[in-house]
Structure 1
Amino acid sequence: QGHLAVPLFRNAYALMAATALTSGLGLVYWGVGARHYSEVDVGRGGAVIAALMLVGGATQLNLTNILPRFLPEHGAESRRLVLAAYGASSIAAIVIGGAFVSLGGVDSSLSSSGSPWPARLAFIAAVITWNLFTIQDAVLAGIRQAVWVPLKNGIFAVAKIVLLVLLADQMPSNGLFTSWAVPAALIAIPVEVVVFLRLLPAHAKATAHRTPPPNRDLVRYATADYLGGLFQLAAINVMPLLVAALVGLEENAAFATAWIAASAFELALLNIGVSFTVEGATDEEQIQRLARSTARLSGALSLAGVVAIVALAPTAVSLLGEGYSGGVDVLRLLAVAMPFRAAVTVYMSLLRLRRRLVPMVVIQAAGCAIAIGLAAVLLPRQGISGAALAYAVAQFTVAVAVAPGLWRELRGTAAPGATPTVGAAP
């Protein structure tokens, strides 16, 4: 009880529980998909969902990182900040999503016949609702109410499995996409009611003494953070599209299931970083102490995850069917990358709290370039395992690069409470 009384751990565990639910039920989801849909349909659905994640991530404007950083200090202006975030994200979804579908980004996967525009409009609507659904998690974390996140995401995970089964006969080509998009829209609405009528007013009252930063500083921070987030987004979401393009939809079915499972594990690490960011922004004098606690928690989780995934990967993948056996090596390689990813995640949170955006952008750009560039080289030679190896090499390289700076922070040799201006050099 004493451990859970610490907000850093309580909110981190809540976010991790949400990730565990999403991951565990996500495996069930893809397992059900493998049983009820053909490998081609699963590969197609995985590619469309990856496109949804890609466009959604690009149009969320990195608000999932920005809101936890600034909601703790926005006080009475918190409601305005959240509304501005939702509005900006929705406008971006319409503009960027419209450009994506106009280029035919989903036509072959979602359009069965006739005009492609119904599928295009459905995709844009799905991006808007997915953004609201995802940004809600950041809002709940930013106002230190992350305990709501597991409930919300658990309901979503169960609902999409049920819908996936119901649509197997009626919509085999688009069942995966529909089962993902519709529950997100239906769940987002009641959550918003709770947030705006109950949780945000309580947060605004509790933090009324805080003074928000000037809008100019917030915009500069958001712009730089968004640029870095685009590189991270590409590293995560371009990979399944690259696999589908270079080795085909059937191979992508095995890769996508392993990739999504590993991405859920990575999300657990990112969520620990989110909790750290919120608590560090709430009390900047405690940043280094919080960093050490975060590093211990992330390290323990990632090492335990490596052992469990390496041991259980064959059994887990076998549940999907014989056609997915290639995902075993993929899952193991991605698991090996997680301890390195944990180190990078802690350091990224520190950079956000210190407002040192230039090194953060450079680090994410380098990681993206290594992962995607190396995957493009290895995929034709080693198949889907080559893409996983490329990602692992990228995480190892970036972790080695940030290790000296992270060590200085954890040892307490960085200036306590220092908050350099946006874009300050390291």
Structure 2
Amino acid sequence: MTDRRVAGRPIRERPLADPAVTDPQLMVIRPDEPGLLRRELSNPLFRNAYALVANGGLTGLLGLAYWALGAKLYAPDDMGRDWAVIQAIMFVGSVTMLNFLLIRFVPQTARHTRSLVLACYATGAAAAAVLALGFLLTLDRWGESFQHLGNWKAALWFLVMAVAWNLWNQQEGVFTGLRHAGWVPVVNVLFGGTKLVLLVVLAGAYPGDGVTLSWFVPAVVMLVPVSAFLFGRLIPRHSRLNAGRGDRPTHRDIARYVGGAYIGGAFQYASISLIPVVVAAHISSATNAYFQMAWALGMMLDLLALTLSMSLTVEGSFDRAGLAESTRAALRRTLTLMTPAVLVVVVAAPFALRFFGHEYADRGAPLLQVLALAVLPKALIELYVGVLRVENRTRLIALLQGVRFAGVLALVLVVVEPDRLATIGLAIVGVNTIVAATVLPGLLRATRAEPSPAARGRVIS
């Protein structure tokens, strides 16, 4: 690789053998390219991230429509009970998935990508089935919203949907690791549109379970064509393009990474999905409907905060030498995108939620506003976790995510009250702000760090 200057700016030239020269999926920014949008999208870090941001925006809009229809078509008791079950399925399916492994090592694999993905699928699905059975065997501890799962047919559906949700989410990790995150919004828009249709169709025939069924039946059905596309086209293409590129991770590398990274990922997803299950166990089904609406909308903002972290992990794994530059760019884009989004939600929440009904606005809007304020410190934490993944510092990931989850859970159990839902949000803001302040010096150091000579030579940039 050589350096030259164009218009007074240094750029790096790639050797002709570098597949990034000929593959448009692996293009990098060049200063002589016209147009801001083209320059942004030519950088895989931003292309992946913007695809995931678009996914969050589109699914957010579909989610608003879904909630609006649900509030009109289903009684609050049914909505609250179904959303408690949905959150339980999401917890079981998410806490057992291995996305952290896929986005970290798929970029560094070629011939063994298929084997790595299948191993993650099999391990995650088996773990989801075991955890789902454990949840079903302890229903008496989880409150009124879950007692109908004691019926064997409902329990079987719960088990199937938990496994399906695990695989559905791991697909997103595969797309992201392959640097084809542009397919994520396509798949999720089809998923979201199908959910909306089923929500209406099932309202008359299944008023008690229609919300849950409309959410997970499309995921079960769509697993087949999406998996066929991944294994039949994208994974073979990735294997061809990356043959001979840089060092490959060994089984020991992956095994050493799994322990701390899995624990950290489990704590992360528990913060998203287990907290609402715990809250549901302490409030009525009707009150849970108001809580879950605010929580679901707030978590859409959280997804935006996660996107650049995931993209940073992928690009840092491709090019360790450029990690500091990618971290700086990701930090700038995070603040640019998230700050106005948070302000819009804080201002608009009391007015927007009136569309769902006055009770939703009066009881859910304050919680949503506070949850929006937690997004910025969360985004800083997730960016630092993205850096730690690239550096294989998985024990620190587990520690950070564990402290954050334990702090939120402990405070939520203390402050949860049916008439003061916003206090739950305040607990989340407080814990995440403290953790973000702790990791900020490390994140800033990562933006200035120079790559080691080994990192420069190990991976083709």
TM-score (normalised: structure 2)? 0.86
Moved more, 89-98 or 164-173: 89-98
- What is the 5 A alignment of 1:25-424? 25-60=62-97, 63-104=98-139, 109=145, 116-210=151-245, 211-325=247-361, 326-380=363-417, 383-412=420-449
Moved more, 245-254 or 370-379: 245-254
AA in 1 matched with 2:114: R
- Structure 2: how far apart are the matches of 1:92 and 1:305? 36
Structure 1 pair 402–412 and aligned structure 2 pair: CA distance change class (3 A): same
Q: Tell me the residue number matched to 1:24.
A: 61
Moved more, 222-231 or 158-167: 222-231
What's the offset of the Cα at 1:239?
2.1
- Structure 2: how far apart are the matches of 1:102 and 1:40? 24
Structure 1 pair 141–381 and aligned structure 2 pair: CA distance change class (3 A): closer
What's the offset of the Cα at 1:2?
1.7
Give RMSD over aligned pairs: 2.0
Moved more, 36-45 or 115-124: 115-124
Instruction: Pick from 24, 27, 39 the counterpart of residue 2 of structure 1.
Output: 39
- Structure 2: how far apart are the matches of 1:74 and 1:128? 26
Structure 1 pair 110–378 and aligned structure 2 pair: CA distance change class (3 A): closer
Structure 1 pair 55–112 and aligned structure 2 pair: CA distance change class (3 A): closer
Map Cα deviations across residues 163-212 of structure 1 (whole Å, 9 max, x no partner). 01111111111111101110011112111111111110000011111443
- Structure 2: how far apart are the matches of 1:77 and 1:359? 28
Q: Are the counterparts in 1 of residues 148 and 154 from structure 2 also a CA contact under 8 Å?
A: no
- Structure 2: how far apart are the matches of 1:109 and 1:171? 17
What's the offset of the Cα at 1:102?
2.2
AA in 1 matched with 2:216: A
Q: Are the counterparts in 2 of residues 262 and 334 from structure 1 also a CA contact under 8 Å?
A: yes
- Structure 2: how far apart are the matches of 1:244 and 1:96? 19
Moved more, 232-241 or 148-157: 232-241
What's the offset of the Cα at 1:226?
1.0
What's the offset of the Cα at 1:261?
1.0
Structure 1 pair 417–207 and aligned structure 2 pair: CA distance change class (3 A): same
Map Cα deviations across residues 7-60 of structure 1 (whole Å, 9 max, x no partner). 111111111111111111111111111100001111101100110111111221
Q: Are the counterparts in 1 of residues 139 and 147 from structure 2 also a CA contact under 8 Å?
A: no
Q: Tell me the residue number matched to 1:424.
A: none
Q: Are the counterparts in 2 of residues 101 and 107 from structure 1 also a CA contact under 8 Å?
A: no
Q: Are the counterparts in 1 of residues 388 and 397 from structure 2 also a CA contact under 8 Å?
A: yes
What's the offset of the Cα at 1:297?
0.8
Structure 1 pair 199–224 and aligned structure 2 pair: CA distance change class (3 A): same
What secondary structure does 1:247 align onto?
coil
What secondary structure does 2:325 align onto?
helix
What secondary structure does 1:76 align onto?
coil
Q: Are the counterparts in 2 of residues 32 and 165 from structure 1 also a CA contact under 8 Å?
A: yes
Map Cα deviations across residues 320-345 of structure 1 (whole Å, 9 max, x no partner). 11121211111110111111111111
Structure 1 pair 416–269 and aligned structure 2 pair: CA distance change class (3 A): farther
Q: Are the counterparts in 2 of residues 110 and 173 from structure 1 also a CA contact under 8 Å?
A: no
- Structure 2: how far apart are the matches of 1:111 and 1:241? 13
Gaps of 5+ in 1: 420-426
What secondary structure does 2:206 align onto?
coil
Q: Are the counterparts in 1 of residues 260 and 395 from structure 2 also a CA contact under 8 Å?
A: yes
What's the offset of the Cα at 1:416?
7.8
What secondary structure does 1:212 align onto?
coil
Q: Are the counterparts in 2 of residues 284 and 417 from structure 1 also a CA contact under 8 Å?
A: no
Identity over aligned residues, as a percent? Answer: 37
Q: Are the counterparts in 1 of residues 264 and 398 from structure 2 also a CA contact under 8 Å?
A: yes
- Structure 1: how far apart are the matches of 2:340 and 2:278? 30
- Structure 2: how far apart are the matches of 1:374 and 1:290? 35
Structure 1 pair 220–239 and aligned structure 2 pair: CA distance change class (3 A): same
Q: Are the counterparts in 2 of residues 107 and 120 from structure 1 also a CA contact under 8 Å?
A: no
Q: Are the counterparts in 2 of residues 143 and 200 from structure 1 also a CA contact under 8 Å?
A: yes
Q: Tell me the residue number matched to 1:422.
A: none
- Structure 1: how far apart are the matches of 2:332 and 2:240? 33
Q: Are the counterparts in 2 of residues 288 and 416 from structure 1 also a CA contact under 8 Å?
A: no
Moved more, 390-399 or 405-414: 405-414
Q: Are the counterparts in 2 of residues 251 and 384 from structure 1 also a CA contact under 8 Å?
A: no
Q: Are the counterparts in 2 of residues 18 and 149 from structure 1 also a CA contact under 8 Å?
A: yes
The runs of 4+ residues in structure 1 deviating greater than 4 Å are 105-113, 413-419
Q: Are the counterparts in 2 of residues 42 and 176 from structure 1 also a CA contact under 8 Å?
A: yes
Map Cα deviations across residues 78-111 of structure 1 (whole Å, 9 max, x no partner). 0110111111111112222122112227896577
Q: Tell me the residue number matched to 2:18.
A: none
